[in-house]
């Protein structure tokens, strides 16, 4: 049995694990509950995802009895040729953009810039080893669906962030199921820029973890051009080194962002 | 004498079906059959690069136009091969069109309506629609009719002309949709508390969109209740799931908060100060 709490700085719930044959093994990762059972050439997976983002439960690979598994758990079984008792738990970023709002809209004056911190929900990917086949992907915390667009006809599907966009990192809650993104907005337009909401392109970002086991994405710089209608989003190589010391890459982006610069209409980023 | 007419027919056939004519007829049939195959292949090849799930109608329209254009070309070539004078045929076509127009008025009307439907695209195959009080999924938009599968798995055929004339509602046109619920609240209900409870319900259901925010409309003081419209947005694919979940969740949340749905009530006021005389029947069984 391997149980720990979030206070344990060394606790990392992801990585490669061996699961005993026909033995149910349990994980609690924030609001996510996960049950794994290995059978010859087969994996049985049960899971429950909640919305309680404040849930800081952390239980890693605890062997439990079948009776301890709730009946209401969503279950699926996977037949995998070449699978052994080894499985990989890998954190991922959300599969849609994440929209965050500041508590009070931020007005960036012409020629000025502002840096805000935004949180994005984590997902968990399960891969059968050694064949490295993806079995399942589930959200660690179920974020609210939302719509990001100028009207109800045009726009895109997204998730709503659990936290407000904040300028002060210290005021961001340190939560197990969220990753942080530092966003710098540079206003090179001739007029002021009002930030009422911000869309983070999570599928195009990499995921990192720092020395203190805090999840980060690479930093973004949104540069509004002089015409005021377009924006270039520059992706840094990693999170800010001063705030996320000794960070290491743990998940590549879902979609390749190309040369590290995304060109978007300003409306598609700042609503 | 029966021999005579048969002999005359035989002579006429012999005169008509000369080896040259037979060769020309076989040639024209072959040209028509080749035309069928070519039209099918060309229409498929032209439409293939355009094939996207959202453009099914456009692909169908292009395929049909290409198919019939190619087939018409081969048919005219085949007729010319058979020795028919096309100038006379084209001259007769005008008269034929008028005659056909009268004879097949309904079919032609549906045919033209079908072309308009394909061009206008008020809905696509797979859309959820309500047409002429029929609600279901669009299976096909054909030359003469639109086929709809109702939710009870019954196929409904609606003539294209009817579709063009009547109001159509396409529920799956846009990616998001609003779930509207009419709530009857007791006059004793604290409306602000009810609205807070409803907000909590949508805040805890991840299928209800964070934006656009849920909205409330006060619909009026009715006979027995205050009517409140509560509307939450969701992705179109989640519409029915959210609607069902909200019914359960609102009922549970109202029960927990002591908010009641009213029953019909009547307040009776008597015109006099005298207490009403209510006769009691002694002989009631």
Q: How confident is the model at residue B10 (pLDDT cuts 50, 70, 90)?
A: confident
Question: Of the candidates B37, B35, B42, B39, which has an alpha carbon nearest to the alpha carbon of residue B79?
Answer: B35
pLDDT of amino acid A114: 92
Q: In chain B, which ranges are E strands?
A: 128-131, 134-141, 145-150, 155-159, 168-170, 176-185, 215-221, 226-235
Q: What mean pLDDT is predicted for residues B111-116? A: 83
Where do the H-state alpha helices sit in B48-178? 56-81, 86-103, 105-120, 160-165
pLDDT, tens digit (0-9, with 9 covering 90-100), for A23-40? 889 999 999 999 999 888
The alpha carbon of residue B27 and the mean position of all alpha carbons in its chain are separated, in whole angstroms, by 44
- Comparing alpha-carbon positions, the chain B residue that sits nearest to A147 is B211
Q: What mean pLDDT is predicted for residues B23-50? A: 85
Integer Cα distance of B43 and B36 in angstroms: 11
pLDDT of amino acid A3: 41
Helix orientation angle between B191-203 and B239-257, rounded to the nearest 10 degrees: 130
Q: How confident is the model at residue A94 (pLDDT cuts 50, 70, 90)?
A: very high
Integer Cα distance of B76 and B79 in angstroms: 5
Q: What mean pLDDT is predicted for residues A51-63? A: 89
Q: What mean pLDDT is predicted for residues A222-251? A: 86
Tell me which DSSP letter residue A228 carries.
S
Cβ of B211 and A153 within 8 Å?
A: no
Tell me which DSSP letter residue B90 carries.
H
Residue A5 pLDDT exceeds 70: no
Integer Cα distance of A236 and A257 in angstroms: 12
Q: What mean pLDDT is predicted for residues A85-97? A: 94
Integer Cα distance of A78 and A96 in angstroms: 25
Helix orientation angle between B56-81 and B105-120, rounded to the nearest 10 degrees: 130
pLDDT of amino acid A266: 66
Q: Which of residues 182-201 of A touch B (CB under 8 A)?
A: 197
Residue B284 pLDDT exceeds 70: no
Cβ of B210 and A160 within 8 Å?
A: yes
- What is this structure's pTM? 0.77
* Partner B contacted by A228 (CB < 8 A): no
pLDDT, tens digit (0-9, with 9 covering 90-100), for B213-230? 999 998 989 888 899 999
Element (H, E) at A159: strand A156-160
pLDDT of amino acid B252: 95
Residue A9 pLDDT exceeds 50: no
C-alpha distances out from residue A149 to A7, A156, A267, B211, B215, Å: 39, 6, 8, 10, 18
Highest mean pLDDT among A43-57, A215-229, B55-69 belongs to: A43-57
Q: Which of A6-15, A106-115, A245-254, B146-155 has the lowest mean pLDDT?
A: A6-15
Yes or no: say if A166 and A195 are a contact pair by the CB < 8 Å rule: no
Integer Cα distance of B36 and A188 in angstroms: 62
Cβ of B209 and A145 within 8 Å?
A: yes
Residue A8 pLDDT exceeds 50: no
Three-state DSSP class for residue A123: strand
Cβ of B209 and A142 within 8 Å?
A: no
Q: Which of A152-156, B148-152, B273-277 has the lowest mean pLDDT?
A: B273-277
Q: Which residues of B touch A197 (CB under 8 A)?
A: 211
Residue A61 pLDDT exceeds 80: yes
Q: How confident is the model at residue B20 (pLDDT cuts 50, 70, 90)?
A: confident
Residue B266 pLDDT exceeds 90: no
Q: Which of A2-6, A181-185, B171-175, B268-272 has the lowest mean pLDDT?
A: A2-6
* Partner B contacted by A152 (CB < 8 A): yes
Q: What share of chain B is helix, strand, coil (3-state, %, to 5)?
A: 55, 20, 30
Q: What mean pLDDT is predicted for residues A257-265? A: 67
- Comparing alpha-carbon positions, the chain A residue that sits nearest to B204 is A51
pLDDT of amino acid A10: 47
Distance between start and end Cα atoms, chain B: 100
- Comparing alpha-carbon positions, the chain B residue that sits nearest to A151 is B212
pLDDT of amino acid B80: 81
Cβ of A145 and B210 within 8 Å?
A: yes
Cβ of B174 and A152 within 8 Å?
A: yes
Residue B209 pLDDT exceeds 70: yes
Sign of CA dihedral A136, A139, A144, A145: negative
* Partner B contacted by A142 (CB < 8 A): yes
Integer Cα distance of A196 and A102 in angstroms: 7
Residue A153 pLDDT exceeds 60: yes
Query: B19 vs A201, which has greater pLDDT?
Result: A201
The minimal CB distance from A145 to the residues B203, B204, B207 is found for B207
* Partner B contacted by A96 (CB < 8 A): no
Question: Of the candidates A211, A245, A243, which has an alpha carbon nearest to the alpha carbon of residue A115?
Answer: A243
Angle at B184 between CA B182 and CA B186, to 5 degrees: 160
Q: What mean pLDDT is predicted for residues A220-244? A: 85
* Partner B contacted by A99 (CB < 8 A): yes
Q: How confident is the model at residue A260 (pLDDT cuts 50, 70, 90)?
A: low
Integer Cα distance of A114 and A242 in angstroms: 17
The minimal CB distance from B235 to the residues A142, A148, A157 is found for A157
Which residues are B214's β-sheet partners? none
The minimal CB distance from A152 to the residues B208, B210, B212 is found for B212
Sheet with A2-3, strands from edge to edge, namely A2-3, A58-64, A24-29, A32-39, A42-48, A74-79
Cβ of A144 and B206 within 8 Å?
A: yes
Sign of CA dihedral A38, A39, A41, A46: negative
Q: Which residues of A touch B204 (CB under 8 A)?
A: 51
Q: What is this model's ipTM? A: 0.82
Cβ of B212 and A147 within 8 Å?
A: yes
* Partner B contacted by A147 (CB < 8 A): yes
- To the nearest whole Å, the CA of A99 is away from the closest chain B CA by 10
Residues 6+ apart with CB under 8 A from A13: A27, A29, A58, A60, A89
Q: Which residues of B touch A51 (CB under 8 A)?
A: 204, 206
């Amino acid at each position: 049995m391997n149980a720990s709490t979030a206070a344990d700085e060394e606790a990392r719930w992801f990585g490669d694990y061996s699961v005993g044959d026909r033995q149910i093994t349990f994980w609690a990762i924030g609001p996510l509950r996960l049950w794994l059972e290995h059978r010859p050439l087969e994996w049985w997976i049960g899971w429950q995802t909640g919305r309680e983002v404040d849930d800081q439960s952390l239980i890693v690979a605890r062997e439990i009895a079948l009776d301890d598994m709730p009946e209401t758990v969503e279950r699926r079984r996977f037949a995998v040729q070449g699978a052994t008792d080894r499985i990989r738990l890998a954190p991922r970023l959300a599969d849609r953009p994440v929209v965050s709002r500041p508590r009070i809209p931020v007005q960036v004056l012409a020629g000025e810039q502002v840096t805000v911190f935004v949180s994005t929900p984590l997902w968990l990917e399960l891969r059968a080893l050694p064949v490295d086949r993806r079995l399942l992907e589930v959200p660690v915390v179920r974020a609210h669906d939302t719509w990001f667009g100028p009207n109800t006809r045009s726009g895109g599907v997204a998730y709503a962030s659990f936290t407000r966009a904040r300028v002060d990192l210290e005021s961001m809650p340190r939560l197990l199921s969220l990753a942080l993104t530092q966003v710098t907005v540079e206003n090179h337009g001739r007029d002021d820029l009002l930030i009422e909401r911000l869309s983070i392109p999570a599928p195009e970002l990499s995921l990192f973890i720092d020395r203190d086991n805090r999840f980060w994405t690479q930093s973004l710089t949104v540069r509004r051009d002089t015409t005021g209608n377009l924006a270039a989003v520059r992706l840094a190589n990693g999170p800010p080194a001063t705030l996320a010391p000794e960070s290491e890459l743990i998940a590549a982006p879902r979609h390749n962002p190309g040369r590290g610069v995304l060109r978007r209409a300003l409306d598609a980023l700042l609503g | 004498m029966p021999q005579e007419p048969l002999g005359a027919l035989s002579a006429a056939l012999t005169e008509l079906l000369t080896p040259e004519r037979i060769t020309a007829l076989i040639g024209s049939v072959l040209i028509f059959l080749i035309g069928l195959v070519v039209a099918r292949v060309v229409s498929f090849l032209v439409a293939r690069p355009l094939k996207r799930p959202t453009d099914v109608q456009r692909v169908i329209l292009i395929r049909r136009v290409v198919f019939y254009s190619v087939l018409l070309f081969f048919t005219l070539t085949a007729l010319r091969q058979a020795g028919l004078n096309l100038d006379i045929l084209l001259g007769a076509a005008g008269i034929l069109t008028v005659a056909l127009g009268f004879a097949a008025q309904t079919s032609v009307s549906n045919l033209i309506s079908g072309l308009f439907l394909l061009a206008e695209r008020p809905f696509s195959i797979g859309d959820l629609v309500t047409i002429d009080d029929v609600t279901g999924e669009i299976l096909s938009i054909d030359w003469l009719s639109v086929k709809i599968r109702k939710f009870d798995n019954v196929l409904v055929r609606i003539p294209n002309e009817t579709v063009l004339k009547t109001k159509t509602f396409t529920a799956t046109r846009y990616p998001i949709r609003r779930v509207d619920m009419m709530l009857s609240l007791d006059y004793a209900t604290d409306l602000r508390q009810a609205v807070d409870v409803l907000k909590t319900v949508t805040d805890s259901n991840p299928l209800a969109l964070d934006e656009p925010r849920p909205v409330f409309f006060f619909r009026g003081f009715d006979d027995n209740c205050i009517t409140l419209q509560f509307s939450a947005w969701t992705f179109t694919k989640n519409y029915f799931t959210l609607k069902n979940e909200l019914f359960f969740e609102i009922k549970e949340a109202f029960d927990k908060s002591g908010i009641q749905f009213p029953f019909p009530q009547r307040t009776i006021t008597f015109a006099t100060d005298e207490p009403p005389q209510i006769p009691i029947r002694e002989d009631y069984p």
